[in-house]
Structure 1
Amino acid sequence: MPTNTAPAELFRHGLRLLLDKDIPAWVDLWDDDGVFEFPFAPDGWPTRLEGKAAIADYMRDYPDHIDLHDFPQVEIHRTTAARTIVVEMRGVGRLVATDSPFEMTYIAVVTVHDGRFTRYRDYWNPLAVVQDPASDFTRRSR
């Protein structure tokens, strides 16, 4: 993506890469020093990933755990900070280990600089995944 990519455009491109299960390309959208945070993470789960390498390691096996099918609702809100957006979205798919349906509502606060994610605060409900005790993703993420 060019360095002048608007935050909303970069975010939508990232969603497409997640649906395509192209995790390496999604990670490439990150700044080398990017920070990925999970403010609602339960005890024992990561709350902050610092740097592209840590983000790549965390996301490496994501499609093996959660098979995303669609983001049927995505609302992107601009903020007074030109490089920051707030996103409300819903993702649907299935948990691979159990073939159970997966549905998650997210709110994300995303900051972009020079066409790369620099900070992403992911306000998702981890209890929706934790409720499925067979999920490998829940054990791997701790």
Structure 2
Amino acid sequence: MPAITSPPDLYRHSLRLLLDKDIASWVALWSERGVMEFPFAPPGWPRRLEGREAIAAYMRDYPDHIDLHDFPELRIHESADPRTIVVEMRAVGRVVATGDPFDMTYIAVVTVQDGRFTSYRDYWNPLAVQDAGTDFATDPARSSAR
């Protein structure tokens, strides 16, 4: 991985890795003690993943469920803390199980330290994926990483 010095650059790089379906490299951007949180997670879904291994387990099969094509809208806001950014974005692609379009907006609060993600609060609506007919929400690997 090239030396990425700023949180916005690291975040943009992480999106390129997701588009390339390079989950192992995406996970490598995380601190060993990184924490990923889903404040709006419904029952049965993880609300908090602690550590790179838990995040890797959660993301392992992501490309089997969601085929991302683009992030056509991306706004990265820097905060008073130079390590923390707030991201507004839209992801588009398709739901693999059904072939239906995937179109989701997100807000994320992301903290980076020493070139690695340390905290990522993902404010997205998992019910929208369930409504699209994917089994992404009910995959046992998803709910086991609580």
Q: Give TM class, smaller chain.
A: over 0.9
Aligned to 2:14: 14
**Which structure 1 residue ranges, 5 or more long, are not aligned?**
none
Say whether the 8 Å CA contact 1:2–1:115 is kept in structure 2. no
Q: Distance in 1 between matches of 2:54 and 2:31?
A: 12
Aligned to 1:75: 75
**Which structure 2 residue ranges, 5 or more long, are not aligned?**
none
Say whether the 8 Å CA contact 1:3–1:116 is kept in structure 2. no
SS at match of 1:69: strand
Among the aligned pairs, what percent are the same residue? 69
Matching of residues 89-100 of structure 1 within 5 Å: 89-100=89-100
Aligned to 1:88: 88
Deviation at 1:43, TM superposition (A): 1.0
Query: Structure 1 residues 4, 99: closer, same or farther in 2, change over 3 A?
Result: closer
Say whether the 8 Å CA contact 1:4–1:114 is kept in structure 2. no
Q: How many residues align?
A: 141
1:113 counterpart letter in structure 2? Q
Matching of residues 51-70 of structure 1 within 5 Å: 51-70=51-70
Q: Distance in 1 between matches of 2:93 and 2:59?
A: 17
RMSD of aligned residue pairs (Cα, Å): 1.1
Aligned structure 1 segments of 4 or more residues deviating by more than 6 angstroms? none
Q: Distance in 2 between matches of 1:32 and 1:105?
A: 28
TM-score by length of 2: 0.93
1:63 counterpart letter in structure 2? P
